[in-house]
Structure 1
């Protein structure tokens, strides 16, 4: 889009300068003559032309008409083919990304990344996808995903994903080499961010740990465990499969951090909170902020403290409602995002 505008400007400048030099005309007369000549309006000569002026006019028409036609065609295509709407949509999306707090950045959405993205969408977890080619992503998730087209190994691209305020980065690139570069870039930019990445060669595990990955996942290792579980505990595997693949509602095991400040539940027992009645969730365990140990199937007299991590099972909508009760800033379905920057959720980096 910029190139044809530059060409048009050069032709226009050449015409104005030519008439001012050859015919000694004033700027406005030279500009007027250039425009009516290039647009073939046919108003006639602004002032009588000398022989040199007529020769220059012929040269301007021959050289400038092609450039003018090319420029007009490119500008027309820009509007007709939707490039302008894509540009405006991209700017609006970038504003939404910069307002995110405590979100997840996914680098690569094919292979393992496809299943990661599917889970993020189903659980309504704030996220940004970074990939070089987004054509397939727009087909699979036309409206749910926020995305950036670019190389996720580059720091300036990660910065567009608002990595400074992200709580986690998942690297699902197709090779260990690319995943290592993503980890190095992300860790250098934000030392405190949690980084999870795919590993394809077992010998590279120690390299990922050395450069700063918090967790690594090997598809072959997970696949082997899954096959063993199918043989040893098939009912449990079937239960988890149905929970993950249920279409009419999304049921998940989630973790929720109890805010350390201004929390209405802090210092109260679960019985006093009436947790099951108010949330509809089942508490599997609580990781105590004081002892850093897990309390499995906590009793009603367990006193909730700020910083506790509650591990619950239930519908995603129930978990989101629980977070709202605790003070998390989570918009409901259909609500517009505030134009102001959304404050960080309790327990997350601002």
Structure 2
């Protein structure tokens, strides 16, 4: 029954029905009419072109013609309504939405492209929204798009196409998440994305462990195996439950006092705080935040860095603090 949900399908079904009705009616009433003659008479009667009858109609034939004209007029009117509905509510609205989405996508810069809106894609989008990161989702499933397009920016198409990747701004994008269910598809997207943007950071999911190396060689910066992570997490809940509960609590801002871990880019803070030590910055004193990690410009990581270490402006700090403390940190460094 999904076939008849389209207004255009209903319109053509009605027109076909009335045409078939007229053809059979004239054919059986006018015994000297061939099937083609009956069809021809039905068409010119419905279209009101007035070419004239093939042969003169009998009284029964004229009576049927009167009934057919009245019936045909009503059905054509209904069919015309369905066609207008299809054009106005289908083509026009979709075209307007697509044009609006293209405009929003063209305005994106340094954004994240999420390929696939399955379970992993949804979770990635939820996290991006939480951190207020700009993103666009590439998805082929119209039902998924219709259910979520009010809150999210979608582009309908296959991420396997270079044209689609270019349409969502792959050359301007900062990150790409491959969350397609098939490893081969993810591999193809990674290869294409890396060719189109040499600097983009690519995170790809993988289902089979043997495909992890292939995705990395294809250009993925990070390869994630959700099933492996899920299994490790379940086992950890049994072996070190308190540690896991504590680490899980760091991830969500549930209350003002709940702990949270944030990443701070030192080149984003005011100049007067750059290239200074933790002791000089006095983070703990002013915000109650704790610095639990530091990564310098070369990628070297320091756990619980020394308070007198001079921090490079291209480095990053890993900050632990409550929601209120993180807000104070943002205020101190004018990051709001």
Please, what TM-score do these two structures have when normalized by structure 1? Answer: 0.64
Choose the corresponding residue for 2:135, options 115, 124, 127: 127
- After superposition, what is the alpha-carbon deviation per residue over 1:230-268, rounded to whole angstroms, capped at 9, x for unaligned? 233110111233444565579643323222897342123
Structure number with the higher helix fraction is 2
Which residue matches 1:111? 119
Give, in whole Å, the separation in 1 of the partners of 2:289 and 2:106: 32
Are 2:219 and 1:212 equivalent residues in the alignment?
A: yes
Q: Distance in 2 between matches of 1:261 and 1:71?
A: 63
For the residues of structure 1 that align with 2:176 and 2:320, how far apart are their CA atoms?
A: 24
* 1:285 to partner: Cα distance: 0.8
- Structure scoring higher RCO (CA < 8 A, sep ≥ 6) equals 1
Residues 124-167 of structure 1, C-alpha deviations (whole Å, 9 max, x = no match): 2222111111533553x554422211101111111122111222
> Secondary structure at 2:177's aligned position in 1?
strand
Q: What is residue 288 of structure 1 aligned with on the other side?
A: 296
Of 185, 188, 212 in structure 2, the residue corresponding to residue 181 of structure 1 is 188
Superposed CA RMSD:
4.0
SS in 2 for 1:241: helix
- Structure 2: distance between partners of 1:268 and 1:307: 12
The residue number in structure 2 matching 1:230 is 237
Please give the per-residue CA displacement for 1:265-317, whole angstroms capped at 9, x wherever unaligned.
2123334434346556432211122x642232235434332101112234689
Structure of greater Rg: 2
Would you say the 8 A contact 2:115–2:177 is kept in 1?
A: yes
The more displaced of 150-159 and 92-101 is 92-101
**Alignment check: 8 A CA contact 1:282 1:314 kept:** yes
The structural deviation recorded for 1:76 is 4.1
1:211 Cα offset (Å) = 1.4
Residues 210 and 283 (structure 1), Cα distance of their counterparts in 2 relative to 1, 3 Å cut: same
Separation in 2 of the partners of 1:227 and 1:114?
21
CA distance in 2, matches of 1:106, 1:91: 20
Unaligned runs of 5+ in 2: 1-7, 9-47, 53-68, 70-74
Name the CA distance, whole Å, in 2 between partners of 1:103 and 1:257.
17
Distance change >3 Å, CA 155–CA 199, structure 1 → 2: same
Query: Comparing 163-172 with 245-254, which one deviates more in the overlay?
Result: 245-254
How many pairs were matched up? 274
Query: For the structure 1 residues 318 and 187, does the alpha-carbon distance in structure 2 shift closer, same or farther, using more than 3 Å as the test?
Result: farther
